[in-house]
Protein backbone atom coordinates (compact mmCIF):
# COMPACT_ATOMS: atom_id res chain seq x y z
CA UNK A 1 0.00 0.00 0.00
CA UNK A 2 2.87 2.24 0.73
CA UNK A 3 4.22 1.59 -2.72
CA UNK A 4 0.82 2.31 -4.21
CA UNK A 5 0.79 5.61 -2.36
CA UNK A 6 4.19 6.53 -3.68
CA UNK A 7 3.17 5.84 -7.27
CA UNK A 8 0.05 7.93 -6.77
CA UNK A 9 2.03 10.81 -5.40
CA UNK A 10 4.56 10.74 -8.23
CA UNK A 11 1.79 10.51 -10.77
CA UNK A 12 -0.14 13.46 -9.24
CA UNK A 13 2.91 15.70 -8.98
CA UNK A 14 3.76 14.98 -12.63
CA UNK A 15 0.24 15.88 -13.73
CA UNK A 16 0.29 19.09 -11.67
CA UNK A 17 3.53 20.10 -13.26
CA UNK A 18 2.18 19.33 -16.69
CA UNK A 19 -0.98 21.40 -16.26
CA UNK A 20 -0.90 24.39 -18.58
CA UNK A 21 -3.89 26.33 -17.33
CA UNK A 22 -6.21 26.81 -14.39
CA UNK A 23 -8.89 24.59 -15.86
CA UNK A 24 -6.55 21.67 -16.44
CA UNK A 25 -5.13 22.06 -12.96
CA UNK A 26 -8.61 22.05 -11.43
CA UNK A 27 -9.16 18.77 -13.29
CA UNK A 28 -6.06 17.35 -11.61
CA UNK A 29 -7.36 18.55 -8.21
CA UNK A 30 -10.67 16.79 -8.68
CA UNK A 31 -9.01 13.67 -10.07
CA UNK A 32 -6.61 13.19 -7.15
CA UNK A 33 -8.04 15.03 -4.17
CA UNK A 34 -11.75 14.86 -4.96
CA UNK A 35 -14.29 12.71 -3.12
CA UNK A 36 -14.00 10.04 -5.78
CA UNK A 37 -10.27 10.35 -6.17
CA UNK A 38 -7.68 7.61 -5.39
CA UNK A 39 -6.45 9.23 -2.17
CA UNK A 40 -9.94 9.29 -0.72
CA UNK A 41 -10.28 5.68 -1.90
CA UNK A 42 -7.11 4.79 -0.05
CA UNK A 43 -8.36 6.40 3.12
CA UNK A 44 -11.64 4.55 2.76
CA UNK A 45 -9.76 1.29 2.27
CA UNK A 46 -7.84 1.73 5.50
CA UNK A 47 -10.52 -0.17 7.38
CA UNK A 48 -9.18 -3.31 5.88
CA UNK A 49 -5.78 -2.78 7.40
CA UNK A 50 -4.75 -4.21 10.74
CA UNK A 51 -5.53 -1.80 13.56
CA UNK A 52 -1.89 -1.25 14.53
CA UNK A 53 -0.96 -0.17 10.99
CA UNK A 54 -3.81 2.27 10.61
CA UNK A 55 -2.26 5.32 12.42
CA UNK A 56 0.99 5.00 10.54
CA UNK A 57 -0.71 4.65 7.16
CA UNK A 58 -3.17 7.43 7.99
CA UNK A 59 -0.32 9.76 8.70
CA UNK A 60 1.43 8.68 5.55
CA UNK A 61 -1.65 9.35 3.39
CA UNK A 62 -2.09 12.77 5.00
CA UNK A 63 1.48 13.68 4.25
CA UNK A 64 1.02 12.70 0.62
CA UNK A 65 -2.24 14.64 0.44
CA UNK A 66 -0.63 17.75 1.91
CA UNK A 67 2.31 17.45 -0.43
CA UNK A 68 0.03 17.18 -3.46
CA UNK A 69 -2.17 20.04 -2.22
CA UNK A 70 0.82 22.31 -1.67
CA UNK A 71 2.22 21.55 -5.08
CA UNK A 72 -1.18 22.15 -6.60
CA UNK A 73 -1.57 25.55 -4.91
CA UNK A 74 1.86 26.62 -5.91
CA UNK A 75 1.17 25.67 -9.49
CA UNK A 76 -2.23 27.38 -9.31
CA UNK A 77 -0.69 30.67 -8.22
CA UNK A 78 1.79 30.50 -11.05
CA UNK A 79 -0.84 29.72 -13.66
CA UNK A 80 -3.12 32.51 -12.38
CA UNK A 81 -0.34 35.02 -12.67
CA UNK A 82 0.40 33.78 -16.16
CA UNK A 83 -3.25 34.19 -17.08
CA UNK A 84 -3.29 37.80 -15.82
CA UNK A 85 -0.13 38.57 -17.70
CA UNK A 86 -1.57 37.16 -20.87
CA UNK A 87 -4.70 39.27 -20.43
CA UNK A 88 -2.66 42.43 -19.83
CA UNK A 89 -0.53 41.59 -22.82
CA UNK A 90 -3.60 41.30 -25.00
CA UNK A 91 -4.92 44.64 -23.71
CA UNK A 92 -1.82 46.62 -24.60
CA UNK A 93 -2.46 49.84 -26.58
CA UNK A 94 -0.21 52.08 -28.70
CA UNK A 95 0.34 54.97 -26.32
CA UNK A 96 1.93 57.04 -29.07
CA UNK A 97 -1.39 57.40 -30.91
CA UNK A 98 -2.84 60.92 -30.52
CA UNK A 99 -5.17 61.66 -27.63
CA UNK A 100 -8.81 62.54 -28.10
CA UNK A 101 -8.72 66.22 -29.04
CA UNK A 102 -10.35 68.72 -26.69
CA UNK A 103 -11.91 71.39 -28.87
CA UNK A 104 -10.74 74.76 -27.53
CA UNK A 105 -10.68 78.24 -28.99
CA UNK A 106 -8.79 81.27 -27.79
CA UNK A 107 -8.91 85.01 -27.53
CA UNK A 108 -7.92 87.28 -30.40
CA UNK A 109 -4.31 88.46 -30.03
CA UNK A 110 -5.49 92.07 -29.60
CA UNK A 111 -7.81 91.05 -26.76
CA UNK A 112 -4.91 89.18 -25.25
CA UNK A 113 -2.72 92.29 -25.31
CA UNK A 114 -5.52 94.58 -24.09
CA UNK A 115 -6.43 92.28 -21.18
CA UNK A 116 -2.81 91.92 -20.18
CA UNK A 117 -2.49 95.71 -20.01
CA UNK A 118 -5.84 96.07 -18.24
CA UNK A 119 -4.88 93.53 -15.59
CA UNK A 120 -1.52 95.13 -15.06
CA UNK A 121 -3.09 98.50 -14.32
CA UNK A 122 -5.97 97.01 -12.35
CA UNK A 123 -3.34 95.61 -9.99
CA UNK A 124 -2.13 99.20 -9.56
CA UNK A 125 -5.63 100.37 -8.62
CA UNK A 126 -6.99 101.51 -11.98
CA UNK A 127 -10.55 101.07 -13.20
CA UNK A 128 -11.57 100.34 -16.79
CA UNK A 129 -13.65 103.06 -18.45
CA UNK A 130 -15.50 102.67 -21.73
CA UNK A 131 -17.45 104.99 -23.96
CA UNK A 132 -19.20 105.30 -27.31
CA UNK A 133 -17.38 104.66 -30.58
CA UNK A 134 -19.56 107.20 -32.35
CA UNK A 135 -18.76 110.46 -30.58
CA UNK A 136 -19.53 114.11 -30.46
CA UNK A 137 -16.91 116.34 -31.98
CA UNK A 138 -16.88 118.06 -28.61
CA UNK A 139 -15.57 115.06 -26.65
CA UNK A 140 -13.33 113.80 -29.44
CA UNK A 141 -11.65 117.14 -30.12
CA UNK A 142 -12.85 120.28 -28.41
CA UNK A 143 -12.76 119.04 -24.82
CA UNK A 144 -9.23 117.83 -25.56
CA UNK A 145 -7.89 121.25 -26.48
CA UNK A 146 -8.48 120.70 -30.19
CA UNK A 147 -10.89 123.47 -31.15
CA UNK A 148 -12.32 123.55 -34.67
CA UNK A 149 -9.61 124.69 -37.06
CA UNK A 150 -6.75 123.48 -34.83
CA UNK A 151 -3.85 122.39 -37.04
CA UNK A 152 -3.42 119.13 -35.11
CA UNK A 153 -6.80 117.95 -36.36
CA UNK A 154 -5.02 117.16 -39.62
CA UNK A 155 -3.04 114.51 -37.77
CA UNK A 156 -6.11 112.34 -37.56
CA UNK A 157 -8.37 112.65 -40.53
CA UNK A 158 -11.69 111.45 -39.32
CA UNK A 159 -14.91 109.77 -40.45
CA UNK A 160 -17.71 112.24 -39.85
CA UNK A 161 -21.37 111.27 -39.78
CA UNK A 162 -22.68 114.78 -39.36
CA UNK A 163 -20.76 117.98 -38.80
CA UNK A 164 -20.78 117.32 -35.06
CA UNK A 165 -20.76 113.52 -34.85
CA UNK A 166 -17.91 111.27 -35.90
CA UNK A 167 -16.32 107.89 -35.34
CA UNK A 168 -13.89 108.55 -32.49
CA UNK A 169 -10.28 108.88 -33.62
CA UNK A 170 -8.84 107.90 -30.25
CA UNK A 171 -10.18 106.68 -26.90
CA UNK A 172 -9.41 110.05 -25.31
CA UNK A 173 -13.08 111.15 -25.41
CA UNK A 174 -13.65 108.49 -22.75
CA UNK A 175 -11.18 110.41 -20.58
CA UNK A 176 -13.02 113.65 -21.27
CA UNK A 177 -16.36 112.04 -20.39
CA UNK A 178 -14.97 110.44 -17.23
CA UNK A 179 -13.49 113.75 -16.08
CA UNK A 180 -16.77 115.52 -16.67
CA UNK A 181 -18.66 112.80 -14.79
CA UNK A 182 -16.24 112.74 -11.84
CA UNK A 183 -16.86 116.41 -11.14
CA UNK A 184 -13.40 117.37 -9.95
CA UNK A 185 -12.57 114.15 -8.08
CA UNK A 186 -9.31 112.17 -8.52
CA UNK A 187 -9.24 109.62 -11.35
CA UNK A 188 -7.26 106.49 -12.19
CA UNK A 189 -8.57 104.83 -15.33
CA UNK A 190 -7.62 102.78 -18.36
CA UNK A 191 -9.67 103.25 -21.54
CA UNK A 192 -9.45 100.50 -24.16
CA UNK A 193 -11.46 100.41 -27.36
CA UNK A 194 -11.87 100.57 -31.09
CA UNK A 195 -10.99 103.77 -32.93
CA UNK A 196 -11.25 104.88 -36.55
CA UNK A 197 -9.23 107.06 -38.90
CA UNK A 198 -9.41 107.87 -42.59
CA UNK A 199 -6.56 105.66 -43.71
CA UNK A 200 -6.30 103.27 -46.61
CA UNK A 201 -5.77 99.78 -45.27
CA UNK A 202 -2.27 98.49 -45.95
CA UNK A 203 0.46 96.61 -44.10
CA UNK A 204 0.90 99.36 -41.52
CA UNK A 205 -2.42 101.24 -41.61
CA UNK A 206 -5.92 100.22 -40.74
CA UNK A 207 -9.02 102.42 -40.87
CA UNK A 208 -10.14 100.65 -37.70
CA UNK A 209 -7.75 99.84 -34.91
CA UNK A 210 -7.47 99.54 -31.16
CA UNK A 211 -6.22 101.96 -28.57
CA UNK A 212 -5.66 101.77 -24.87
CA UNK A 213 -5.18 104.91 -22.88
CA UNK A 214 -4.63 105.73 -19.24
CA UNK A 215 -5.44 108.79 -17.15
CA UNK A 216 -4.47 109.71 -13.60
CA UNK A 217 -5.63 112.92 -11.97
CA UNK A 218 -4.87 113.89 -8.41
CA UNK A 219 -3.23 116.47 -6.23
CA UNK A 220 0.34 117.29 -7.27
CA UNK A 221 0.71 114.56 -9.86
CA UNK A 222 4.16 115.09 -11.35
CA UNK A 223 5.90 114.16 -14.56
CA UNK A 224 8.14 111.87 -12.49
CA UNK A 225 4.98 109.93 -11.55
CA UNK A 226 4.29 109.43 -15.24
CA UNK A 227 7.82 108.20 -15.79
CA UNK A 228 7.63 105.83 -12.81
CA UNK A 229 4.26 104.44 -13.86
CA UNK A 230 5.41 103.86 -17.44
CA UNK A 231 8.57 102.22 -16.19
CA UNK A 232 6.56 99.74 -14.09
CA UNK A 233 4.33 99.10 -17.10
CA UNK A 234 7.31 98.50 -19.43
CA UNK A 235 8.98 96.06 -17.06
CA UNK A 236 5.82 94.09 -16.32
CA UNK A 237 4.73 94.00 -19.95
CA UNK A 238 8.06 93.45 -21.69
CA UNK A 239 10.40 92.09 -19.02
CA UNK A 240 12.34 93.26 -15.98
CA UNK A 241 15.41 94.21 -17.97
CA UNK A 242 13.53 96.85 -19.98
CA UNK A 243 14.78 100.41 -19.80
CA UNK A 244 12.56 103.29 -20.80
CA UNK A 245 13.44 106.56 -22.48
CA UNK A 246 11.25 109.62 -22.84
CA UNK A 247 11.50 111.93 -25.83
CA UNK A 248 9.75 115.29 -26.11
CA UNK A 249 6.77 115.22 -28.44
CA UNK A 250 3.49 116.98 -29.06
CA UNK A 251 -0.12 116.18 -28.34
CA UNK A 252 -2.68 118.97 -28.04
CA UNK A 253 -4.17 117.45 -24.86
CA UNK A 254 -0.91 117.18 -22.90
CA UNK A 255 1.84 119.60 -21.98
CA UNK A 256 4.63 118.60 -21.70
CA UNK A 257 4.17 115.71 -24.11
CA UNK A 258 6.47 112.73 -24.54
CA UNK A 259 6.97 109.61 -26.58
CA UNK A 260 8.19 106.60 -24.68
CA UNK A 261 10.70 104.16 -26.10
CA UNK A 262 11.65 100.91 -24.44
CA UNK A 263 14.96 99.16 -24.91
CA UNK A 264 14.46 96.54 -27.62
CA UNK A 265 13.27 93.26 -26.12
CA UNK A 266 14.65 91.28 -29.02
CA UNK A 267 18.27 92.43 -28.94
CA UNK A 268 18.37 94.05 -25.51
CA UNK A 269 19.44 97.36 -27.00
CA UNK A 270 22.39 96.37 -29.15
CA UNK A 271 20.39 96.88 -32.37
CA UNK A 272 18.53 94.45 -34.60
CA UNK A 273 15.97 94.41 -37.39
CA UNK A 274 13.03 94.75 -34.97
CA UNK A 275 14.32 98.04 -33.55
CA UNK A 276 15.76 99.12 -36.91
CA UNK A 277 19.27 99.06 -35.43
CA UNK A 278 18.46 101.77 -32.88
CA UNK A 279 18.13 99.55 -29.82
CA UNK A 280 14.87 101.31 -28.94
CA UNK A 281 11.23 100.68 -29.74
CA UNK A 282 8.64 103.43 -29.76
CA UNK A 283 5.77 102.16 -27.64
CA UNK A 284 3.50 104.97 -26.54
CA UNK A 285 2.71 108.66 -26.32
CA UNK A 286 2.07 110.39 -23.03
CA UNK A 287 2.19 113.66 -21.17
CA UNK A 288 0.90 115.85 -18.39
CA UNK A 289 -2.78 116.68 -18.91
CA UNK A 290 -3.05 120.13 -20.52
CA UNK A 291 -4.55 122.69 -18.12
CA UNK A 292 -7.15 123.61 -20.78
CA UNK A 293 -8.37 120.00 -20.78
CA UNK A 294 -8.65 120.00 -16.99
CA UNK A 295 -10.44 123.34 -16.92
CA UNK A 296 -12.89 122.34 -19.67
CA UNK A 297 -13.91 119.33 -17.57
CA UNK A 298 -14.39 121.48 -14.49
CA UNK A 299 -11.11 120.73 -12.70
CA UNK A 300 -9.08 123.39 -10.93
CA UNK A 301 -5.83 122.96 -12.82
CA UNK A 302 -3.88 124.83 -10.18
CA UNK A 303 -4.81 122.26 -7.55
CA UNK A 304 -5.23 119.04 -9.50
CA UNK A 305 -2.82 117.82 -12.14
CA UNK A 306 -2.58 114.60 -14.03
CA UNK A 307 -0.92 112.50 -16.64
CA UNK A 308 -2.25 110.53 -19.58
CA UNK A 309 -0.75 107.96 -21.88
CA UNK A 310 -1.94 106.03 -24.90
CA UNK A 311 -0.74 103.15 -27.00
CA UNK A 312 -1.79 100.86 -29.83
CA UNK A 313 -2.32 97.20 -29.01
CA UNK A 314 -1.80 96.40 -32.72
CA UNK A 315 1.70 97.83 -32.59
CA UNK A 316 2.49 96.04 -29.35
CA UNK A 317 1.18 92.74 -30.71
CA UNK A 318 3.13 93.25 -33.94
CA UNK A 319 6.35 93.86 -32.01
CA UNK A 320 5.75 91.17 -29.40
CA UNK A 321 4.69 88.40 -31.74
CA UNK A 322 6.57 89.51 -34.84
CA UNK A 323 3.41 90.11 -36.92
CA UNK A 324 4.39 91.98 -40.10
CA UNK A 325 1.01 93.08 -41.48
CA UNK A 326 -1.70 94.85 -39.47
CA UNK A 327 -4.41 93.40 -41.72
CA UNK A 328 -3.84 89.97 -40.15
CA UNK A 329 -5.74 91.25 -37.10
CA UNK A 330 -8.89 91.82 -39.12
CA UNK A 331 -9.05 89.00 -41.67
CA UNK A 332 -9.56 86.41 -38.92
CA UNK A 333 -7.65 83.63 -40.65
CA UNK A 334 -7.96 80.70 -38.24
CA UNK A 335 -4.40 79.70 -39.07
CA UNK A 336 -3.38 83.05 -37.62
CA UNK A 337 -5.83 83.30 -34.71
CA UNK A 338 -5.25 79.79 -33.38
CA UNK A 339 -1.55 80.51 -32.88
CA UNK A 340 -2.43 82.63 -29.86
CA UNK A 341 -3.60 79.67 -27.82
CA UNK A 342 -0.81 79.15 -25.37
CA UNK A 343 0.19 81.14 -22.35
CA UNK A 344 3.48 82.99 -22.13
CA UNK A 345 3.57 83.07 -18.37
Partner 1 sequence: MLVSIKWLQEYVDTQGLAPADLGEKITRSGIEVDAVIDRSHGMTNVVVGYVKECVKHPEADKLSICQVDVGGETDQIICGAPNIAAGQKVIVARPGATLPGDIKIKKAKLRGEESNGMICSLQELGIESKLVPKAYAEGIYVLPEEAETGSDVITNFDLDDTVLELGLTPNRADAMSMIGVAYEVGAILSEDVKLPEISYTEAADSASSLLTLNIDAPDANPLYVAKVVRNVEVKESPMWLQQRLMAAGVRPHNNIVDVTNYVLMEYGQPLHAFDYDSLKTGNITVRHAKEGEMITTLDNAERKLSAHNLVITNGEEPVALAGVMGGANSEVSASTTTIVIESAYFASGSIRQTSKDHNLRSDASSRYEKGVDPNRVIPAAERAASLIAELSGGEVLSGSVMFDALDKEEKIVTVSPDFINARLGMKISFEEMMRILKRLKFNTEAINGQLVISVPTRRQDIQIEEDVVEEIARLHGYDEIPATLPEMETTPGGLTPYQHKRRIVRNYLEGAGLLQAITYSLTSSKSAQQFALAKTEMTRLLMPMSEERSTLRQSLLPHLLESVSFNTARRSDSVALYETGAVFLKTDGELLDEEEHLAVAMTGLWLDNAWQGEKKSVDFFVLKGIVEGLAAKLGVALEFERGQMDGLHPGRTAYIIKDGNRIGVIGQLHPSEQAARNLKDTIVLEMNLAVLLNAEPEALLYTPVPRYPSMSRDVALVLSKIVEAGSIENTIRNAGGKLLKQVRVFDLYEGDNMEEGKKSVAFSLTYFDPEKTLTDEEVTRVHEKVLSALKDAGAELRS
Indicate the annotated binding residues for Mg(2+): 255
Task: Give the total of residues touching partner 1 (CB under 8 A).
Answer: 86
Residue selected from 108, 227, 236, 266 as contacting Zn ion according to rule CB under 5 A: 266
Which residue lies nearer to partner 1 by CB, 27 or 132?
Answer: 132
Distance of closest approach, residue 268 Cβ to partner 1, in angstroms: 19
Among 98, 183, 273, 343, binds partner 1 (CB under 8 A): 98
Give yes or no for a contact between 137 and 174, defined as CB atoms under 8 angstroms apart.
no
What gap in Å lies between CA 188 and CA 206, rounded to an integer? Answer: 29
Name the residue among 74, 66, 31, 36 with its Cα closest to residue 58.
66
Opening angle at CA 161, ends 157 and 165, nearest 5:
85
Say how far apart CA 303 and CA 10 lie, in whole Å. Answer: 112
d(CA 22, CA 281): 77
Helix axes 109-122, 313-321, angle to 10 degrees: 110
Among 33, 232, 267, 274, contact with partner 1 (rule: CB under 8 A): 232
- Binds Zn ion (CB under 5 A): choice among 5, 144, 264, 326: 264
Pick the piece of the chain touching partner 1 (CB under 8 A) from 18-26, 61-69, 255-263, 268-276: 255-263
Helices (H), the chain: 2-18, 22-33, 38-44, 54-90, 109-122, 137-140, 172-182, 223-238, 291-296, 313-321, 328-331, 334-337
Tell me: does residue 236 bind partner 1 (CB under 8 A).
no
Binders of partner 1 among residues 4 to 23 (CB under 8 A) are none
**Nearest CB to partner 1, comparing residues 6 and 194:** 194
Residue 232 Cβ vs Zn ion, minimum distance, rounded to whole Å = 22
Binders of Zn ion: how many residues, by CB under 5 A? 6
Residue 199 Cβ, how far from Zn ion at the closest point, in Å? 27
Q: Is 216 helix (H, G, I), strand (E, B) or coil?
A: strand
Taking residues 178 to 197 in sequence order and writing x for each that binds partner 1 by CB under 8 A, - otherwise, the string is --------x-x-----x-x-
Residue range at the interface with Zn ion (CB under 5 A); choices 158-166, 237-245, 265-273, 309-317: 265-273
Distance CA(129)–CA(138), nearest Å, equals 18
Alpha helices in 91-221 (DSSP H): 109-122, 137-140, 172-182
Residue 203 in contact with partner 1, rule: CB under 8 A: no
272 binds, among partner 1, Zn ion, none (CB under 5 to 8 A by kind): Zn ion
Question: Toward partner 1, which CB reaches closer, 48 or 100?
Answer: 100
Query: Which region among 23-31, 59-67, 263-271, 327-335 touches partner 1 (by CB under 8 A)?
Result: 327-335
The candidate with the shortest Cα–Cα distance to 221, out of 254, 178, 261, is 254
Closest distance to partner 1 from the beta carbon of 226 (Å): 9
Q: Which of 1, 31, 46, 124 binds partner 1 (CB under 8 A)?
A: 124
CA–CA separation, 112 vs 123, rounded Å?
A: 17
For position 272 contacting Zn ion by CB under 5 A, the verdict is yes
Residues 279-318 within binding reach of partner 1 (CB under 8 A): 288, 290-291, 305
| Main-chain phi, psi angles of 245, to 5 degrees | -140, 135
Binding residues: 255
Report the C-alpha gap between 188 and 217 in whole angstroms: 7
Please say which residue, 32 or 261, places its beta carbon nearer to partner 1.
261
Q: How far apart are CA 312 and CA 310, in angstroms?
A: 7
Among the listed ranges 70-78, 84-92, 249-257, 262-270, the one in contact with partner 1 (CB under 8 A) is 249-257
Residues that bind Zn ion (CB under 5 A): 264, 266-267, 272, 274-275
Amino acid sequence: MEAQLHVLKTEALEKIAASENVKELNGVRVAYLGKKGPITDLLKGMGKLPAEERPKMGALVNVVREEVTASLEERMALLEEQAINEKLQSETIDVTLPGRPVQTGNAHPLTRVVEEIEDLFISMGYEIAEGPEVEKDYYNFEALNLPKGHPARDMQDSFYITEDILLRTHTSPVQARTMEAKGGEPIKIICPGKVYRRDNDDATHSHQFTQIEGLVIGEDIRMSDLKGTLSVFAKKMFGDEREIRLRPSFFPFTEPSVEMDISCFKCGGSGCNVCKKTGWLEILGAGMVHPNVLEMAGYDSKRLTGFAFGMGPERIAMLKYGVEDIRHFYTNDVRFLSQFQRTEV
